[in-house]
Amino acid sequence: MLDTKEPGFRENVDLMFRRAVSHLDLSPGLAEKIQVCNATYTVRFGVRLRGKIETFVGYRSVHSEHMEPVKGGIRYAPEVNQNEVEALAALMTYKCALVETPFGGSKGGLCIDPRQYEEHELEQITRRFAYELAKRDLIHPAQNVPAPDMGTGEREMAWIADQYARMNTTDINARACVTGKPLNSGGIKGRVEATGRGVQYALREFFRHPEDVALAHLSGSLAGKRIIVQGLGNVGYHAAKFLREEDDTLITAIIERDGALVNPAGLDPDAVRAWIVQTGGVKGYPEAEYIENGRSVLEAECDILVPAALEGVININNADRIKAPLIIEAANGPITASADEILREKGVVIIPDLYANAGGVTVSYFEWVKNLSHIRFGRMQRRNEEAHALLLVSELERLSSDEKLGWQLQPDFKRRYLQGADELQLVRSGLDDTMRTAYQNISEEWHRRDDVTDLRTAAFIVAIERVAASYRAKGL
């Protein structure tokens, strides 16, 4: 993925980290301690498939244990390697600190192309991988809590949770060993959409700061903005869908594995996704121009570019041709350190990954808390809140029946006001609050320091200061 002239993914994250550290006055050696990856476990295990034993290679990397459990997804992809997993684990440390989820950073990966296997084979492989990790406490409700990432989803998390429960039959908190589970295995409403939803909330918050919008050479609100999305996986699809349906933006291009679709009048992510499911790719989709060299569309004219696929897609080779004035990193590490520098010099504003895609881990946190408290959010309060609301509504109804006052309630007021918040509403509210607060912290840092000229450095500074405070509190 990365050009050989450029450093690897982990070195890229380290470069960005060190850039931020140069603005801080940390005690000697502390930056080094925070930066290093504590441990990476490599496992090679065999699974009997189709009459022979196949060997798989997997990793679980723990970047920082300043808080436990450590948290981060498990990726299934053929090109997974130690460097990548360690970079992603480091990003998890900073991401968790930034959005104040009480976790250290971790990440896992399995070298596999999941499309080459049947469902029952994937289950066998996942259970075996989970077994190898769980027996070393690399899956554990109090120590290490995985989640979905590229190539994995609810289904794999359910297998992992079940495998852990089988190995720990008396652990009452077993379900908290992994997040991103389906609802019927201890999941939480709103987790699947969470990362995409977080991207939407991040953009909304950005556009609530007109001075920041102006720095991106844009103006006005999100409505009407032209957006290019790369990758229509879980994150890209949900971000594009919500931004189109709820914020009146135009998805003018979608870049996928087999090419890109362009339509200046706007694409419908649901229709494109259905086409991909039906045909295996975007080629032939009726309501758009098809461009075989999908990557070239990253360089097309737009207001906002949303890379939501792989790392390193904006690099030294194409950075100077990028026209988007605003980029939001829905993927982890889509912009290399060299590209970041080129884009900064061009005045492009980048909403960085450690903030932009933190919606997933934020809702994972809610799921973990739900599992540990063994009760659905809102279960105790909902009807009580409704009863309180009813008191007020009844009184308003009584007053509005008095013709002398001439009051009238809006037709839908009663229904809307009486509705107590259910789990999904609470999750969205918690996520929205988290994304707003984190952006405000970053933006404040960006404007407070004359020497900090970009959101990424500001975000790293906020995160590193929190991790450092945590180490200091431990006496390190």
Q: What positions carry a catalytic annotation?
A: 107
196 lies in the binding site for ligand GLU (CB under 6 A): no
Closest by CA position to 145, among listed 405, 365, 475: 365
- Where does this chain touch ligand GLU (CB under 6 A) — which range of 270-278, 314-322, 337-345, 353-361? 353-361
Residue 399: CA atoms inside 13 Å, Cβ hemisphere, count? 10
**Vertex 302 angle, CA 436 and 449, to 5°:** 40
One character per residue 127-166, x = contact with ligand GLU (rule: CB under 6 A):
--------------------x-x-----------------
Token pair listed for 283: 């080629």
Among 10, 19, 71, 241, binds ligand GLU (CB under 6 A): 71
Nearer to ligand GLU by Cβ, of 207 and 242: the residue is: 242
Q: How far apart are CA 282 and CA 284, in angstroms?
A: 6
Nearer to ligand GLU by Cβ, of 370 and 382: the residue is: 370
Q: Give the nearest residue (CB) to ligand GLU.
A: 73
- Where does this chain touch ligand GLU (CB under 6 A) — which range of 71-79, 168-176, 314-322, 427-435? 71-79
- Are the C-beta atoms of residues 159 and 123 closer than 8 Å to each other? yes
b (16+ CB within 10 A) / e for 152-188: bbbbbbbbbbbbbbeebeeeeebbbbbbbbeeebbbb
Closest by CA position to 24, among listed 214, 32, 373: 32
Assign 426 to helix, strand or coil. helix
Nearer to ligand GLU by Cβ, of 336 and 357: the residue is: 357
Shortest distance, CB of residue 49 to ligand GLU, whole angstroms? 26
Around Cβ 106, how many Cβ atoms within 10 Å? 35
Shortest distance, CB of residue 147 to ligand GLU, whole angstroms? 3
What is the phi-psi region of residue 248: left when phi exceeds 0, alpha when psi lies from -120 to 50, beta otherwise?
Answer: left
Nearer to ligand GLU by Cβ, of 325 and 360: the residue is: 360
Q: Are strands 289-291 and 259-262 parallel, antiparallel or unpaired?
A: antiparallel
Shortest distance, CB of residue 381 to ligand GLU, whole angstroms? 26
One character per residue 306-345, x = contact with ligand GLU (rule: CB under 6 A):
--------------------------x-------------
Among 364, 371, 434, 443, binds ligand GLU (CB under 6 A): 364
Among 361, 438, 452, 462, binds ligand GLU (CB under 6 A): 361
Shortest distance, CB of residue 160 to ligand GLU, whole angstroms? 12
Closest by CA position to 328, among listed 459, 143, 148, 170: 459
Binding site for ligand GLU (CB under 6 A): 71-73, 147, 149, 179, 332, 357, 360-361, 364
